[in-house]
Amino acid sequence: MSDTAVPMLWSGDLPSTLAFYQALGYTVTYEQSRPYVYGAVEGHGCALHFAPAPPGVELPTEHVGALVMVDDVAARHADFTTALRAHYGKIPAKGMPRITRFRPGQSRFSLVDPVGNTLLVIQRDEPMDVEYGGSRALTGLARVLDNARILRDFKNDDKAAARVLETGLRRFATAASAPERARTFAALAEIAVATEEPERLAHWRAELDAVELTTEEHAALSADTAASAVLATWLTTTAPGRGGAARPGDG
């Protein structure tokens, strides 16, 4: 038989931690409070254990607690989204707990539990040679877009991605193609939704709408141009029967 490694994460408040994973579909397989706190959950063939930090040791919040390799990362994100919306009334996208957004083509997302443990959920066959931005095969605004994609999708740093895109526009907009400019405006509009900046959203949507594209270019960029609206819907849609949205941590 092969060995099995089981991540042991910081428990913090064990009951709320276990309740969070139960909401995601995990089963509590062990829970004790004496002589020391310890708990475990299992789901999808994966076990997670929770124990308090050693005395005198302060663990940093939101450290990566475990990598979880899955066969279908898009489906898992959709399942977790449904479960979290049902549990909290809407998607917890900020603070703790939270789940990061997911765009078509991504190979990973992050899940942060109520005490700050972070599960990095990764597509099992994610390429080993992922290009982490600024591909040498690209130039100008196309390379800027590639760099911003990594900041947004892999590092979850929307502010840095926005800075890179805006700097790229100042440097390369004149020489860039219409589709490249449209993709950049669309990316900035999506980030404005994520960072809750309606004025910036209106500005970048106006810039996007002003770009003249052919019918074929419109079709090719449909996912990009719709991204801000899709994200807004994902963030604001409430669970059926919940009426008002609950705050993360409620329930």
pLDDT in tens, 83-135: 999 999 999 999 999 999 998 888 999 999 999 999 999 999 988 766 666 67
Predicted TM-score (pTM) of the model is: 0.85
Mean pLDDT of the region 127-149: 82
Which residue reads 């970048």 in tokens? 204
The tens digit of pLDDT for each residue in 43-83 reads 999 999 999 877 777 777 777 689 999 999 999 999 999 99
CA 99 – CA 84 distance, rounded (Å): 9
Number of alpha helices (DSSP H) and beta strands (DSSP E) in the chain: 8, 8
Residue 137 has pLDDT above 90, yes or no: no
At what angle are helices 140-153 and 158-172 packed, to 10 degrees? 180
Please name every residue paired with 166 in a beta bridge, in sequence order, or none if there are none.
none
Length of the chain: 251
Whether residue 96 contacts residue 111, with contact meaning beta carbons closer than 8 Å, is answered with no
CA angle 100, 102, 105 (to 5 degrees): 145
Whether residue 91 contacts residue 111, with contact meaning beta carbons closer than 8 Å, is answered with no
Residue type, 16: S
pLDDT (0 to 100) of residue 165: 97
The tens digit of pLDDT for each residue in 10-37 reads 888 899 999 999 999 999 999 999 888 9
CA 228 – CA 49 distance, rounded (Å): 37
What share of residues in the chain are helix, strand, coil (percent, to 5)? 40, 15, 40
Residue 143's H or E segment, with its range, is helix 140-153
Question: Chain centroid to CA 50: how far?
Answer: 23
Band (145; pLDDT cuts 50, 70, 90): very high
pLDDT (0 to 100) of residue 58: 76
Please name every residue paired with 64 in a beta bridge, in sequence order, or none if there are none.
118
Whether residue 145 contacts residue 171, with contact meaning beta carbons closer than 8 Å, is answered with no
Phi, psi of 56 (to 5 degrees): 80, 0
